[in-house]
Amino acid sequence: MTLVNPAYLGREQTLVKHTVLRQYLTALALIVGRTFARDIVFVDCCSGPWETVTDDLSDSSVGIAIQQLRLARDMLNGEGRSVTFRCLFAEEKPSTFAQLKKFCDAVTDIEVEALPGDFTQHIPAIQRFVARRNKSFPFFFIDPTGWTPLQINPLTPLLRTDPGEVLINFMTSHIRRFLSAEGKDFDALLGQQPLDEIQKLSGQERDDAALFTYAGHVRQRGNFPYVCTTVVLNPERNESHFHLIYATRHHKGVEVFKQAERKAREVMTMARAEIKERKRIDCTQQRELFTVEEHGAAPDRQLVALCDRYQGRAKELVQEHLVRNRLRRVPYETVWQIACLFPLVWETDLRRWIREWKGNVTIVGMEPKQRVPKCDAGNVLIWNDQSQ
Ligand SMILES: C[S@@+](CC[C@H](N)C(=O)[O-])C[C@H]1O[C@@H](n2cnc3c(N)ncnc32)[C@H](O)[C@@H]1O
């Protein structure tokens, strides 16, 4: 028996990615549908279906998008809100596109279009699709098999779409493998100067530098105040398989994305523990005394180590920023924008650090009954200590 959805056995990394997408999509649609959007558009730039084993494609981003958007639509309809939902699914491989088209043709209750070809060659068509209705909110999901479609210049018009959000699969393991290879145009992904610096690094330092450099380009090109990254580990090895990069213009987006990341972390811990257990049983031919299914998974050491690493880096950067601006008013939003970039860093961590710096930091603008600083409340931090 397994707690992991059997459709994902052998590709548990996809389960983690789909957990983020599943959790996030409905929450996003509800937030924007309850506020300003009258039309919600999901654009899957690299749709597949890819390695699916289900007839209804419920183990693909395409199937998940339809399911989750239906949920949101029904809830919004139930509240008397009239919001339309549309999807654009792009796929470049002809045989896969044929499968995709068949799926799209069978969807009658949501406006769905399939777009054949390399999506980076169809950016104006994607923009026209989004602009067909007023008060639209597009969510772009960019999940290629390699790194070439992530070159920042062709993507820039999509990143600039405002309002709009983006979720990108940054294929860390793939990029790691080819980073030092001759003839690969990684400068188009990372920029020539950062690339020279990144190539001097190794291991986790190199992975992180490539990821955060690219996330910085996404932030800058799309003018996104908030960019978050999530680590998806190789199911069997203690290394990152890929990272998801999420960019939004609103702190509420970060809140729900971080909730999705928490859920994904649980799923990843469970899936990796089950694989380990299966391997042990295969080796020893003995059933475990305490199975993951019965007793839950122990904390995943690799994830715990990464959590310590990223929390340490985020805390350092926030403190550096406050100290550099000592005696000046730093909006709370600014420090959350610094910290939320890192995987496995939650807003409760940021608030804990601020409490730890109590002697040095004054919080201005809190309401009398407000217990913790928050975004959109005019809260400001001031680092007072002049000795540092
Ligand atoms: C990793 S799979 C996608 C998986 C799917 N998003 C999911 O989560 O179920 C990548 C798919 O994108 C397609 N693809 C890769 N590069 C593309 C591009 N530039 N434009 C359109 N499709 C692309 C591949 O043929 C493949 O089917």
Helix or strand or coil: residue 279? helix
Q: How far is the CA of 93 from the centre of ligand 1 (A)?
A: 8
Structure tokens at 44: 């899957």
- Bridge-based pairing of strands 380-383 and 330-331 is antiparallel
User: Ligand 1, from 50, 103, 174: best to mutate by most atoms within 8 Å of Cβ?
Assistant: 50
**pLDDT at res. 81:** 96
Q: Atom 13 of ligand 1 has which residue's CA nearest to it? A: 46
Q: For the whole model, what pTM was predicted?
A: 0.95
Q: How far is the CA of 36 from the centre of ligand 1 (A)?
A: 31
Spatial CB neighbours of 206, under 8 Å, sequence gap ≥ 6: 176, 179, 198, 199
User: Ligand 1, from 13, 47, 120, 123: best to mutate by most atoms within 8 Å of Cβ?
Assistant: 47
**pLDDT at res. 299:** 87
The CA-to-CA distance between both ends of the chain, in Å, stands at: 57
Evaluate the CA torsion angle 155, 158, 161, 164 in order and state its sign. negative
**pLDDT at res. 79:** 97
**pLDDT at res. 138:** 98
Q: Is 81 exposed, middle or buried (0-12, 13-18, 19+ CB in 10 A)?
A: middle
Is 86 in contact with 39 (CB distance < 8 Å)? yes
Distances in Å between the Cα of 46 and the Cα atoms of 8, 71, 185, 206, 383 are 19, 23, 21, 26, 45
Helix or strand or coil: residue 5? coil
DSSP 242: E
- Which residues make beta-bridge pairs with 169? 244
**pLDDT at res. 176:** 85
**pLDDT at res. 196:** 86
C-alpha span between 55 and 272 (Å, rounded): 26
Q: How far is the CA of 324 from the centre of ligand 1 (A)?
A: 43
Is 133 in contact with 167 (CB distance < 8 Å)? no
Complete DSSP assignment for 88-125: EEEE-SHHHHHHHHHHHHT--SSEEEEEES-GGG-HHH
Radius of gyration of the chain (CA): 22
CB count in 10 Å sphere of residue 353: 18
Q: Is 203 exposed, middle or buried (0-12, 13-18, 19+ CB in 10 A)?
A: exposed
C-alpha span between 56 and 40 (Å, rounded): 23
Is the C-beta atom of 90 inside 6 A of ligand 1? yes
**pLDDT at res. 290:** 56
Is the C-beta atom of 48 inside 6 A of ligand 1? yes
> Atom of ligand 1 at shortest distance to CA of 93?
25
> Atom of ligand 1 at shortest distance to CA of 90?
21
**pLDDT at res. 248:** 98
Which residues of the chain, if any, have pLDDT below 70?
1-3, 180-184, 281-295, 386-388
User: Ligand 1, from 24, 64, 92, 113: best to mutate by most atoms within 8 Å of Cβ?
Assistant: 92
Is the C-beta atom of 47 inside 6 A of ligand 1? yes
C-alpha span between 243 and 263 (Å, rounded): 15
Q: How far is the CA of 348 from the centre of ligand 1 (A)?
A: 35
Give a three-class secondary structure readout of 162-204: CCCEEEEEECHHHHHHHCCCCCCCCHHHHCHHHHHHHCCCCHH
pLDDT in tens, 252-291: 999 999 999 999 999 999 999 888 887 776 666 666 655 6
Is the C-beta atom of 63 inside 6 A of ligand 1? no
C-alpha span between 164 and 127 (Å, rounded): 11
Fold of 6-272: Rossmann fold (3.40.50)
How many residues does this entry show for the chain? 388
Is 344 in contact with 355 (CB distance < 8 Å)? no
Is the C-beta atom of 93 inside 6 A of ligand 1? yes
**Residues of each domain in the chain carrying CATH 3.40.50:** 6-272
Strand order in the sheet with 330-331: 330-331, 380-383, 361-364
**pLDDT at res. 215:** 98
- Mean pLDDT of the chain, nearest integer: 93
Is the C-beta atom of 59 inside 6 A of ligand 1? no
